Amino acid sequence: MTAATTATAISTGPSPTLEELVDRLIDAIFGLDSTVQPRTSPARAIHEARRFRQTGELDQALNVFAEMDLSEGTEGETRWASAEFLDLARRRFGGEDAQLYRAGSGRAAVLTPLDEGTLEARAVLGLRWRPGKLVSRRSLRGLGPLTGRQVS
C-alpha cells in the first residue's frame, strides 16, 4: 500500500480540532477517560430529549444532546439532532446574549460571554466539550448569534 492510499484509508471522518486532540491527550495522561457506557441510538436519544422538552425540563433535554454520539448516526439523524438541538437552545438561551458555534455537521455549541474574550459552553452537540468549558473567542471560527442561525 502506498503512502497516498494509506492516508486516504485513514481519513474517513471529520478531523478533530487541535483543542479536542489536546483534551483527549490530557484525559489519557491523567486517567480521566470515563468507563465505556453502552451507547443509545441517536433516534432514541432525540426522543428522550423531546420528552424532557415537553415536560419543560430544557436543561435535562440539552444534557441528552451533550451525551449524544452522532458518529454512528445517519445523515438524516444528524440533521434531525441538529434541528432539535437548535430549537432547544433557542428556547433555553433565547433571551440571553448567547452565541452559536458550528464546528461542522452535527457539531455545535451554545456559548455565553463570561468576560472580555472568554466564552462559557452552556450546551453542546457532538463535541467532546462539556457544559461549563471555557474557551477563547479568538480560537473559534463559525461563531455567530444564536438567533437566526441554522445548524446542519
What pLDDT score was predicted for residue 8? Answer: 47
- Mention every residue, 6+ apart, whose C-beta is less than 8 A from residue 73: 41, 42, 81, 106
Distance CA 53, CA 102 (A): 22
Domain segments of the chain as ranges: 41-145
Nearest to 104 by CA among 134, 135, 126: 126
**pLDDT exceeds 50 at position 15:** yes
Q: Which three cell numbers stand for residue 150?
A: 441554522
pLDDT digits (tens, 9 = 90+) for 33-88: 554 444 567 888 899 999 999 999 999 999 999 988 887 788 999 999 999 999 99
